[in-house]
């Protein structure tokens, strides 16, 4: 009789443990699903797809694109060709656009107005990217590529800095 009672107690304990574990697994799956949905929504907000030109505009009322707008379009097309989904983030602290591809995050600065790119400009851009990543922890699990796309000449110090810090910044010059 005591064996049956002991067996019954073990079965009850086993059932309680299995039910607790399965409940925790369901809660974890629901939490992951909510986080995934939130990430997708935030990504869609961030990555509003940019098209190089809009067919809905009347050609007689549009102004010719400026050098900066043309440069940005070239950069967007370059990264679209390389498989990134590129979007504008409304120029967050020196970052003009971001791109996402698999587990990669692309942060891009488009510069065509400076007379010469200096080392300080590159350091400020890297700092801007760091601030952006700190404010957006959802990107922490991605490999970050910082790109400084420019049509302006670069100073010798800036070129040396970019060459010695290839893991921190990549220079994209003259996409013609």
pLDDT in tens, 84-129: 888 766 656 778 888 888 888 889 888 877 788 899 989 998 988 8
List the structure tokens of 45: 């907000």
Using CA atoms, how far apart are residues 48 and 170, in angstroms rounded to an integer?
Answer: 24
pLDDT at res. 87: 76
Residue range 119-171, pLDDT digits in tens: 998 999 898 888 888 888 888 888 899 998 888 888 899 889 888 988 889 98
Examine the pLDDT at 64 and tell me if it is beyond 50: no
Q: What is the pTM of this model?
A: 0.61
Among 95, 161, 154, which Cα is nearest to 130's? 95
Give the percent of the chain with pLDDT over 70: 80
Where are the strands (E) in the chain, listed by range? 85-92, 95-101, 104-111, 143-150, 170-173
């Amino acid at each position: 009789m005591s064996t049956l009672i002991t067996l019954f107690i073990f079965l009850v304990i086993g059932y309680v443990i299995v039910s607790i574990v399965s409940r925790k697994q369901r809660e974890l799956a629901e939490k992951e699903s909510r986080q995934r949905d939130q990430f997708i929504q935030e990504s869609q907000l961030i990555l509003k797809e940019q098209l190089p030109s809009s067919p809905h505009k009347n050609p007689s009322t549009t102004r010719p694109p400026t050098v900066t707008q043309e440069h940005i379009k070239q950069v967007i097309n370059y990264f679209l060709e390389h498989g990134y989904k590129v979007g504008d983030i409304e120029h967050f602290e020196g970052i003009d656009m971001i791109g996402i591809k698999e587990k990669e995050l692309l942060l891009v600065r488009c510069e065509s107005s400076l007379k010469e790119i200096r080392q300080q400009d590159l350091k400020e851009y890297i700092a801007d990217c760091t601030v952006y990543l700190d404010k957006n922890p959802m990107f922490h699990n991605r490999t970050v590529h910082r790109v400084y796309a420019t049509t302006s000449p670069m100073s010798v110090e800036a070129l040396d800095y970019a060459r010695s810090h290839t893991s921190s910044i990549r220079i994209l010059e003259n996409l013609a």
